[in-house]
Amino acid sequence: MGHMGPPRKNGTPVGTTIPDGAMENLLPLWVFAVAWLGASVFVTTPMARDALKAHNSFELLVLAFPAAGLGLVLWAARQSWRIRKFGRSVLRLGSGSVPLGGELAGTVHVVRAISADRPTCLRLRCIQRTRRPHRRNRVSEVVLFELSQTLDGRPNDPGAAETQIPIRFHIPPDAGLSSRVDGFREILWRLEVRRSSGLLSYFARFEVPVGAADDRDLTSLPSPEQAVHRAAGAGPWREPRESGITCRRIEGGGLDVRLAAAHRKPVGLTIIGLSLTGVAAGLFLAPAPGLARIITIAFGSLILLPAAFLDFIAAWLWLVSQEVTVRGTSVLMRRSIGHFHWGRTFEGGGIAEITCKVDGSSSTSNGPTVTYHGIQLQTRDGKSAWLASNIADGDYAAWLTEEINAARGEAEPPGR
C-alpha cells in the first residue's frame, strides 16, 4: 500500500498555494475601529458639550479619543480599498517546504493587473516570534536574517487581466528552520512584496515554510488498520484526520463525508460578536438628551451591522452540520440543524470539477495563522457551491476532495 494522502513537508503540502496574510485581520480591524469610534463618541459628546458651554478648552482634549477612532476607521477603509483595487493574492511554490541551502522559487499571482512600469521590492525575513505569558501574552518579533531584491519594472501585456511576480531567493544552509522552538518561541519566514501603484501601493505578505529537504510528516502514512478498511472497500477509515469529520464508504458504491456542527469551534468569533451586540444594545438603551440621543442610536446601528454578521457566522458554525454524499456520478450536498435539513443534488453531467480551495483564515496574538480549506463544486454553467468548508487541515481537505472525485469515477485515489 502506497502513500494515501498528499505528501507533506513541515506540515505544508508539496506544490502548495499560500494566501496573502496582509489582509487577514481586516474584519477584526473594522470591528475594533467602529466599536472604538462609537464608544468614544458616546462617552465624550456630553463632556465636549459641557466644555464648550463652560469655555474650558483643556477639557476638549477628550476629543482625541474619537479622533483616534476616526483614524482607525480611515486605516481600515484604506486596507479595504487595497483589496478592492488589487484583489486577493496567492504565492504558488513548486515545492511544499524550501530546503536549507536551496531555492525559494515561486510566483505571486495577483487577480488584477498592476502597473509594471515601476520596480517591485521583495524582502524575505527569518523572524523569531516570542510570546510572553507574564506580560499578558504580548508577542514580540526579532529579525534574525533578511534578504532583499528589486525587480525592474516592465511594460504590462495590454491583454493581461492579472499580474504575476516571479520570486527566487537562495536560502543559506545555516539559516533557521520554520519551527516551534518551545511553547513560547517559534521561527518563521516572511516574504513581503511591494510595488508602487498610484495613490495606493500594492503590498502582500506570505509566511513561507523553510526546512530540511528530507523532512516528512509520518502521520500522513496509513496505519495497518486503515489499509484493511481500504482493501475491504467499505466502512470507516482514517487519513490525516480532523476532529468532527468522518468519511465512510457506502455499501454498493459511493461515499459519505460528514462534518459535524461545531467541528470548528468559533469561540473567539462568538465572544467578539456578542460583545459588539452588547455595546450596540447599550448605545440603544443609554439615556441621552437631544442630539446625543441621535448620535448614540446612529452609532448603535453602525455597530449592530457587523455584530449581527459575526453572530450569524458564529451561530452557523455552532449549529449547522454539513454532509456530502456521492452515489454514482451524482453529488448530494446537505445542511442540517437538528431534524431540519435542506440541500441540493448535482447530477454528474452538470458538474465541471470539484476542487479543494482556501475559504478563509484566522489568527490570534498567541499563535500562527490558521488557514481553512473547503471543497468547492463548479457546474458547467459557471456556478459554484461549497460542498464542505472550515477544514483546518489542508492535506485532509485535499484528500477528501480526491476521494469524492474517485467515488464519482473521475480518478483513482493513490495507493488503491
Residue 267: its H or E element? helix 267-285
35 vs 27: CA distance, rounded Å: 12
225 CB-near residues (< 8 Å, 6+ apart)? 237
What are the chain's domains? 17-22+88-208 (2.60.40.640), 26-84+266-317 (no CATH), 222-261+320-407 (2.30.29)
Residues 365-376 as b or e (16 or more Cβ within 10 Å = b):
eeeeeebbbbbb
Best CA proximity match to 203, nearest among 23, 386, 335: 23
- Does the pLDDT at position 370 exceed 70? no
Specify the higher pLDDT residue, 292 or 390. 390
In tens, the pLDDT along 88-138 reads: 888 888 766 688 888 888 888 888 877 767 788 898 988 888 876 555 556
CA dihedral (64, 70, 73, 78) in degrees, to 10, reads -110
User: What is the per-residue pLDDT across 213-270, written as a single tens digit (0 to 9) for each?
Assistant: 433 333 333 333 333 333 334 334 444 467 788 888 887 778 899 998 888 778 878 8
Could you write out the DSSP letters of every residue in 320-354?
Answer: -EEEEEEETTEEEEEEEETTEEEEEEE-GGGEEEE
Average pLDDT value for the chain: 75
Rounded Cα–Cα distance for residues 362 and 317 (Å):
14
User: Grid coordinates 454528474 are at which residue?
Assistant: 348
- Cα 16 to Cα 27, 176, 217, 280, 397, distances in angstroms: 26, 21, 15, 42, 13
Query: What letter would DSSP give residue 411?
Result: -
pTM over 0.85: no
Comparing 16-30, 127-141, 308-322, 385-399, the range with the smallest average pLDDT is 127-141
The DSSP call for residue 98 is B
Q: How far apart are the C-alpha atoms of 393 and 219, rounded to whole Å? A: 12
Cα separation of 134 and 318, whole Å?
32
Handedness of CA 384, 388, 394, 398 (dihedral sign): negative
